[in-house]
Amino acid sequence: MAIFKGAGVAIITPFHEDGSVNYEKLGELIEFQIANKTDAIIICGTTGEASTLTHEEHLECIKYTIDKVAKRVPVVAGTGSNCTETAIYLSQEAEKYGADALLVVTPYYNKATQKGLIAHYTAVADSVKLPIIMYNVPSRTGCNIQPETAVALAKNVENIVAIKEATGNISQVAKLMQLADGCIDVYSGNDDQIVPILSLGGLGVISVLSNVAPEETHNIVELYMNGRVKESAQLQLRALPLIDQLFCEVNPIPVKAAVNLMGMEVGPLRMPMTEIEEAHKESLKKAMEEFGINVK
């Protein structure tokens, strides 16, 4: 059974001005998402600035989210690391807290061979009982899960059940789907490729766009799943200018600026992320307004 179908938000982590995690604001963001049809909450991913959270903050964000969501939608905890032992530790803790699933990114910086990826994911999966979504984002990690590797893991490791595909390479996704023959669930990791990946049999998206347009992102998937493909595609295309602006600088710089422009006061970024350039901020604001988002 799928972890979720639809649009799961890769939720940002709000900070106070002093840089500490703002848990009260995180709670507000979670309520906003659930009220606007988000199908799952993905906490402590790339968009959540997990790489600059301490282990203690990382785990506290996961625990807070699980408790706040209270089983209303699935909570997927980002527990990946470039150190296998750290990924195991974070995954086991998230399981204890009651996460519904784990999102485990490929090792970054030190990277891994395909053999290394199989060993890494198998070790993490064997340490827990939770279903695991592999996260394939070579642009950030320098490491690509080849379709053959993903299928081998899904067929040989019981709780490796899905992959977040953020290669941007639709041909690779097509090959994965052909080789998998239904043995692995696929989620788009790119907001501009939701409909293309759905057309190949994907189940939805793990989305940055959902931070600012949760209902519309949910609707792209729901319309497609309900056979209203043309309307789904139209909404996908209408969102493209906004999606482009949400990636005008490295994620999550623009999306955090966007949520602040909505008046949600989610605070600054942690270095080495820096605040959005003023020209980009104006372009982002214009795209948000044209999409129908109320900017304060």
What is the set of active-site residues? 135, 164
Query: What gap in Å lies between CA 74 and CA 100, rounded to an integer?
Result: 6
Structural contact between residues 256 and 49, judged by C-beta atoms closer than 8 angstroms: no
Torsion angle of alpha carbons 192, 195, 197, 200, nearest 10°?
Answer: -160
Report the Cα 295 to chain-centroid distance in Å: 24
Tokens of 42: 């993905």
How many Å separate Cα 284 from the centre of its chain?
21
Position 112, amino acid = A
Helix (H, G, I), strand (E, B) or coil at 248: coil
Q: Which residues contact 205 (CB under 8 A, 6 or more apart)?
A: 7, 8, 187, 188, 189, 191, 194, 197, 217, 220, 221
Q: What share of the chain is helix, strand, coil (3-state, %, to 5)?
A: 50, 15, 35
**Cα 222 → chain centroid:** 18
CB of 7 closer than 8 Å to CB of 205: yes
Measured over the CA atoms of residue 165, residue 166, residue 168 and residue 169, the dihedral's sign is negative
Neighbours of 28 (CB within 10 A): 16
